[in-house]
Every structure is written in C-alpha cells, then in structure tokens.
Amino acid sequence: MGLGEHDVPSVRSGALTRSYTWASPIPDACVSGTGSKRVPCVLGVDEAGRGPVLGPLVYGVAFCPLDRQQDLRDVGFADSKALTPERRDELLQALLHQDHIGKWCLLIDRLGRMLRRHPNNLNEQSCDATVMLIQGVLSAGVDVTHIYVDTVGDPKAYAAKLKRSFPRYQHIEWTVARKADATYPVVGAASVAAKVTRDYCIERWLYAERNFGPHALGKRKREDAEPGETLDEADSQSVWQTGSGYPGDPKTVQYLKETLDPVFGWAGIVRFSWATAKSMLEEPVRTNASVRTSLLGTPCPPSTRAYAVRWMDEAPPPKAQATLQGFFTKKAPARGLSTSAAASDDAQKSSPLAPEWQEDRKMLQEKRHEMWQRWSLASCSAADLF
C-alpha cells in the first residue's frame, strides 16, 4: 500500500523548480535542559539519488538523544535500498510518529550547478548539503555530540573535510564510513527519510513545463512510422513511464529517447549533465528514417537525436567569428533623424547596407507614416514602450 497524499510532509505540492529544505519540529527530548544539563544527541546523514539520471538528489538527517538509539534499532532501520518500498513506507510512518527523533531533508533540484561551464561536481554539492543540514540542526540548539555519515569518497579524507567545516564544535565525534546506513540505525533512519522523499517526488512528478507531461496534447511520429501516423493513446501513456531513473533501466532509457526535444532537450526531471544524457544528445540515428517530430512539435534532425549546441562563452566557428567581426567593423549608417526620404537615400548611398538590411529599411520607410499615425492615436505610456 502506497503512501497517502499527506504522509510525506517533506515533499511540497506543486512542481519542483528549485532546491529547498524541510525540517520537522525539534523534539523536546533533544533540547530540554541548559548548559551542562543539555541532552547529548547523535545525528546521522545519508542521501538518495546520486546515481539516477532522473529526479532530485535528496539528503536526509535524523537525530535523537544518545540513550534512545536502541529504539531506532528495535524499529528496524537499515539501508533503505535493501528494503522493499512497502517496508520503507512503514518505517517512515514510524519515524514520523517518534516524538524523540528529529528529521531534516534537502532536495537538490536537478543538480543545476553541474550544468555550468565550470561545474561544481557532485561530491562538492554532497559535502555542501551535508554541512548545511548539520549546521541547521546545531543552530536550532540541539547538542550533537556524535555524527555518523555515509562517506563520499575516502572516509578519512571526507571526515577531515567535514570536521574543518565546524571549527566551533571540536567536541563532536565524527564517524564516516562506507555503508553507514546498514551499520548505524540513525543513519538508516536518515536513509529511509531521503529515499521515501525522493521516490514519492518521482512517482508524483509534476512537470513545470507548459503542455508537457502525460496529459500533453503534443504528438510525435515514430521513427518507423508511416506518413501521418502518430502515437495512439496507449503508447502515449507508456512514454511517460520513467522506470527507476537509473541509466541501466530500459524504461528510463526509453523515456529519455521518447521525450527528448532536439532543441530544448528534456524536462526538468532529467539531469542534463549525466553522461547518459550527454551521449544521447549526440547519438546517431538511422538516416533513412521518416521525418519525425518531438512531443513539442520540433522536427528532429536525420542524423542525431539533437541539434548541436554551444556554451555562450565558447568560441564560434571561424566563419561565424569573421561575420561578427565584420558586423562591428563595418562603417555605421547615418543616424540623423529626418523625415525626408531624400536624406535617407543620401545616407544609404554614403554607407551601403547589406541586401537584407536594405529590404528592412525600405519596408520601414513605406510603413513609417502608418506607424506614426497608429502611435499618435494609441493610448499608451512610456511603460508600454520600454
């Protein structure tokens, strides 16, 4: 039985368009007492979604008093990937109803920093997310004395890096290990929170893109379709089955191929920076296939799945570069304001324009009187023009 509509409070309603954090109320059992009588707590960190090419990366933390760790072990928290979806749902419900356990989650939307020309890699983003979540718990007044983290890379190096991020908390003892979610119950609790949050988000994904999604009206032709043939309703629904989101899942690969637009790429659910997505954009297709269009109606190229794109700071091809240089070094046409056609002709003769520019200028001269008349009769303000 799946989770109900309001059973995963860490998932916001609406489309996921930016990263955000969610936190449960701080349990009284974690903040009672002051000074030396403060309750020492243990905290665990884990993530879900580092490998998939679809959906957000979710980091979760869980914390509780040191003397209540056995309660987590008795409930049965462990590596979320080793549990069935039904068991994860049950554990999340148990987690939500434990009044001595705190939960925080961070959803990193589409890992946007990896799309930069000089990207911030996944390990850096993971470290930043871990530090931010732990700092949030500490700033809330929780006296964390021991932190367990599922490692990113070498455990010793990662532990030293995390510790350097908290110079004011030298009393905290750090344990960074591989498969920490299967060893330490508090990390298992964080793993379950992150995994269920991500799964719930993917299964009920809301597309922020207009006219895109399972109910989109766009139709596109098969590569082997007859002229005028499009997808029927059953095929159209199967297009939107994302599968597990991992690159090795046939359903995920099929989803990427079917929803790819050769100009705009994919919807926000896809991580463009993943090797799977990058290679698919340049993947060769059959040159003898009939002309097909994407779900958005964009004609697809006959040789590859997408048109070539460039970063804005990449050098253009030599021919295009010469054209741009010629544009800026060419003698500028006269800019004097004149309503006389003769003056305009003189300016044009003294500084010849390219043929296409001459056609545009001729059109403006012919329509000038009509345009000024319309503007003079229109009711508008400066805000309408600028």
Q: Residues annotated in the binding site for a divalent metal cation, as ranges?
A: 46-47, 150
> Helices 185-203 and 85-96 meet at what angle, rounded to 10?
110
DSSP 306-320: S-----TTSPPPHHH
CA 219, 222, 228, 231 dihedral sign is negative
Q: Is 349 helix (H, G, I), strand (E, B) or coil?
A: helix
E strands, the chain, in order: 20-23, 40-48, 57-65, 102-108, 143-150, 173-177
**Binding site as annotated, residues:** 46-47, 150
Ramachandran bin of 16, using left for φ above 0, alpha for ψ from -120 to 50, beta for the remaining angles = beta
- Give 228's contacts (C-beta < 8 A, 6+ positions apart): none
Rounded to whole angstroms, the Cα distance separating 82 from 131 reads 26
Residues facing 146 on adjacent strands: 42, 173
**Residue 23: count of CB within 10 angstroms of its CB:** 17
Residue pair 29/39 in contact by the 8 Å Cβ criterion: yes
Residue 233 phi/psi, 5° resolution?
-65, -40
**Residue 175: count of CB within 10 angstroms of its CB:** 17
